[in-house]
Amino acid sequence: MRRQDNSYTIVFALVVCALCSLSLAIVTESFKARREINEGFEIKRNILKAVHLKEPLPARAPQETIIKIYEEKISGVVIDREGNILPGRIPGEEGKGKEGLPLYIYQEGNDVAAYCFPVEGKGLWSTLYGYLAIEPDGMTIRGITFYKHKETPGLGGEIEREWFQEKFRGKRFWDTASRRQVQVLLIKGKVSEKMPEEQRPFYVDGISGATMTSNGVSSLINNGLQTYEPFLKKIRSY
């Protein structure tokens, strides 16, 4: 076979592809355990961030500190679609043939300070994964974090920044007058300029230049709240 032949070109391309794929597969597989540890840790850190600890996490805290605080303050349970806690179950085994929704409870002393659960939904380029924390009154958002996404840095990617996540604190998804769940929506522009005073708790400033990501965040929050509504109904007192 000469180098100009089509058959040579095809064989060469196939060999290069096979070698590249093989080396990628070997390396990805051998790093898998490490990656899973990192991801598990990242989830713990995000739950702690979402629930807004009474004493905030120290900046640049080492992994051990974060895991220790997590184990002290957070307990994980699994609930069913009717909002009942399933005894003897821990989060992390859903999807392996077992039904249920994970729920994390943040306790400060003997009092529940927040409930937290995972949320996910489509953004512009990718699925956004995060955690949403609810105040014990069952009507107010306490915090939100995003730990995995592939949005544009500087635009949709801003969802992982603190300035954006802080805007959700104290937003309400329950109308006490009509006793109904209301949607928390991200809007274009500033809530303080566009919305009448009494409507402001239900709206959040969107990210300019990232409307699709903002819409995705709106819908993933409301989907999550709907899924967990049977449980939230139980903790809510009128």
Partner 1 sequence: MPGIFSRKEKKIVRDALWENNPITFQVLGICSALAVTVKLETAIAMSGALIFVLALSNMVISALRNFIPSKIRFIVQLCVISTLVILADQFLQAYLYDISKQLSIFVGLIITNCIVMGRAEGFAMRNPPWRSFIDGLGNALGYGGVLVLVAGVREVLGNGSLLGVKLIPESFYNHGYADCGMMFLAPGAFFLLGAIIWIQRAISGYKESP
Where along the sequence are the contacts to partner 1 (CB under 8 A)? 3-4, 8-9, 12-13, 16-17, 20, 23-24, 27-28, 31, 34-35, 38, 41-42, 60, 150, 153, 157
**Closer CB to partner 1, 24 or 90, in the complex:** 24
**Closer CB to partner 1, 79 or 210, in the complex:** 210
Residue 190 CB, nearest approach to partner 1 (Å)? 21
Residue 73 CB, nearest approach to partner 1 (Å)? 22
Integer angstrom CA distances of residue 87 from 79, 84, 148, 154, 211: 9, 9, 30, 44, 42
**Closer CB to partner 1, 16 or 90, in the complex:** 16
Residue 45 CB, nearest approach to partner 1 (Å)? 10
User: For 63, phi and psi rounded to 5 degrees?
Assistant: -55, -45
Q: Which of 143, 164, 160 is nearest to 54 (CA)?
A: 143
The residue behind tokens 């009448």 is 196
**Closer CB to partner 1, 3 or 96, in the complex:** 3
Residue 7 CB, nearest approach to partner 1 (Å)? 10
CA dist 73 and 87 (Å) reads 19
- DSSP 8-state assignment for residue 172: B
Residue 65 CB, nearest approach to partner 1 (Å)? 14
User: For 47, phi and psi rounded to 5 degrees?
Assistant: -60, -45
**Closer CB to partner 1, 39 or 137, in the complex:** 39
CA dist 69 and 63 (Å) reads 10
